[in-house]
Structure 1
């Protein structure tokens, strides 16, 4: 209850400040606003005061945590998740270090892509491809309900799902090969995705559509480097995003690191103002939170570097910068991201107003999330 009251108070102060030209945030307010725009991963099945992520939360005010079951950098099956009791304690401890409630996120799509596995004692659900092929839209609802109930029981409030990429390329190594798309028909994708989202929402868990503006036709893997879909992408890949947004069911949208010269001749989607602000915000009318795909993926980090990637993503319109801290592990990465964002503001490259805009979106979502939790 204390955190619910706190978030309402903070949001009220920020919004009233935004309405008055005579009130501008002091450094501490700016620090908090910047911190809330960062989501980071970390190592550990438990957290104590010496864990770098605790300092990220306490000192840099980071707003979100992403959890993994495997440590890619170490090629290890031990990362953040071992079982229900352990995970519930971990998320509770993480929340205890933060004055503003954290978004705690995980990729729990079903099928192959899951962080909470049956071996760990969690219920499993079918993949998107299996659900779509079944033709049973109610099965997608049940899958969303099972996942939502499972995540809620262990303190996870955000699912990086569903994937609404259209299955345009059967040889796609990151979508089709992993059974992550509901269908090659964008209308079927949207129907099954909406049912899945309804299931998550019934348990009070936020959803995230991915990967905008469509990763289904790619031949490459943006984890590994530059991925161009210019010749393979079709405009109807936008349909699931547009339909779900217009139906008011999209909590968040995750950008893809794909390059599409038909939408922007110079930049990949995550770093493109034409794609994020022009297409997703203005043309499609999305008013919720835009989160980047992992900023450590080579399609961004390998082409632009750390600070430049942050600068371009925020200028393009991203609200939350996601750093999985798993492909490469760096202690204190959340604080490093916050420090670079602060420096960009001090240098005048990013305005305080731009930071505040994202902060208000984040705080509204957190307020609504806590309000729903208090009623359940």
Structure 2
């Protein structure tokens, strides 16, 4: 359904890549090129390993504050790698109920256990740690009856009811479970349009409120507002729209170039315009209508030109799992990190599920420091993300 506030050229469907790119100022193929390195004589250049406010140690801490990392353990000792990382300024952690590799419980076995786990991590943090989770409701619920939490209805069920009181009660139940254990960032709601009910990543799992943008926006807005009232931040996903996909980016490269519709931008744009977005999670999908070569999460054309420029988003942009097969198989971890930061992503999420790497924090920080040292990224670019991520952190 079209909305008068959304420019008509963004709602054109069934057009080719050239036409869509032409309709989006700044979203040409050339914008996907890496920014030119700063030279020693450029006005913005600085000594490569020095921070403006305290040397390389400060720069390392800034970079660490942009990372959200998964880990194994239902209880942690002070010398565990994740505890050390948190003490050294890691930005956040992500909780899972099951470990993908072992299929054993990972971080959550009971309300009392996970509450104690989160408390120990938050106490170790020198600042406001982001404690994050995927708690959408229905099948994508890390807190569930199997580990002592109440069952929740799916977004599809809530969208079918399309009742504000029903949605509010449902969202309050989710928010209560989150706040009871200390979570302050929920990777929800899904605002993808259910344009392909057979979609294995969205439609088949009941993760979309509806194919109707108005239903999606109404229910997602209510959920965001309920979370905010409880002191929990949210992330709208999966930008620029995963509703027509035929695969799952966690396990394969997903190309929506032939199926994606510009109407899929509508929930993101209208929620941004309405002030109902805390952060935006960008997907690893390939959409050649918007960028001829790079996946969305690594694309300046999609993150900077479209999301920030065309849609006016000023807040934090969150990556999907940076270890997902969709990007790790083609680019490798270090190059993907470089490209994501160049694209305009602020929060880099490493679920540590596809692979398990206790060195992920140190090695990623080393990588980004080296990118600054070589001039591929500037410290000013890092500072932009730090400011956005600091604004995302709840005050509580």
Deviation of the 1:348 alpha carbon: 1.2
Equivalent pair of 2:233/2:392 in contact (CA under 8 Å): no
> Which of structures 1 and 2 has the bigger CA Rg?
2
Aligned residues: 346
User: Is 1:268 matched up with 2:295?
Assistant: yes
User: Is 1:68 matched up with 2:127?
Assistant: no
Equivalence map 1:150-189=2 (5 Å): 150-189=177-216
Deviation of the 1:241 alpha carbon: 0.5
Equivalent pair of 2:87/2:125 in contact (CA under 8 Å): yes
Partner in structure 2 of residue 16 of structure 1: none
Moved more, 245-254 or 130-139: 130-139
Moved more, 138-147 or 298-307: 138-147
Which residue, out of 366, 369, 372, partners 1:339? 366
Deviation of the 1:349 alpha carbon: 0.9
Describe the superposition over 1:191-222 as per-residue Cα deviations: whole angstroms up to 9, x where unpaired: 11101111211211101100000001001111
Q: Which runs of no fewer than 5 residues in structure 1 stay unpaired?
A: 1-22
Equivalent pair of 1:148/1:202 in contact (CA under 8 Å): no
CA distance in 2, matches of 1:193, 1:148: 14
Which residue, out of 203, 208, 212, partners 2:235? 208
Q: Once superposed, what is the RMSD of the aligned Cα atoms?
A: 1.3
Which aligned runs of 4 or more in structure 1 are off by greater than 4 angstroms? none
Equivalence map 1:1-376=2 (5 Å): 24-25=52-53, 26-59=55-88, 61-76=89-104, 78-366=105-393, 369-370=394-395, 373=396
CA distance in 2, matches of 1:334, 1:137: 42
Equivalent pair of 2:136/2:188 in contact (CA under 8 Å): yes
CA distance in 1, matches of 2:183, 2:361: 19
CA distance in 2, matches of 1:332, 1:225: 25
- The structure richer in helix per residue is 1
The secondary structure found in structure 1 opposite 2:323 is coil
Equivalent pair of 2:240/2:264 in contact (CA under 8 Å): yes
Describe the superposition over 1:83-102 as per-residue Cα deviations: whole angstroms up to 9, x where unpaired: 11111111110012111111
The secondary structure found in structure 2 opposite 1:39 is strand
CA distance in 1, matches of 2:130, 2:305: 27
Describe the superposition over 1:64-123 as per-residue Cα deviations: whole angstroms up to 9, x where unpaired: 1000000001122x1000111111111110012111111000000001110001232212
Equivalent pair of 2:162/2:219 in contact (CA under 8 Å): no
The secondary structure found in structure 2 opposite 1:254 is strand
CA distance in 2, matches of 1:87, 1:141: 25
Equivalent pair of 1:143/1:199 in contact (CA under 8 Å): no
Deviation of the 1:228 alpha carbon: 0.6
Describe the superposition over 1:3-30 as per-residue Cα deviations: whole angstroms up to 9, x where unpaired: xxxxxxxxxxxxxxxxxxxx92222321
The secondary structure found in structure 2 opposite 1:125 is coil
Q: TM-score, normalised by structure 1?
A: 0.90
Q: Which runs of no fewer than 5 residues in structure 2 stay unpaired?
A: 1-50
CA distance in 1, matches of 2:291, 2:307: 13
CA distance in 2, matches of 1:331, 1:29: 22
Q: TM-score, normalised by structure 2?
A: 0.85
Higher relative contact order (CA 8 A, sep 6+): 2
The secondary structure found in structure 2 opposite 1:140 is helix
The secondary structure found in structure 1 opposite 2:141 is coil
Partner in structure 2 of residue 19 of structure 1: none
Equivalent pair of 2:63/2:368 in contact (CA under 8 Å): yes
The secondary structure found in structure 1 opposite 2:234 is coil
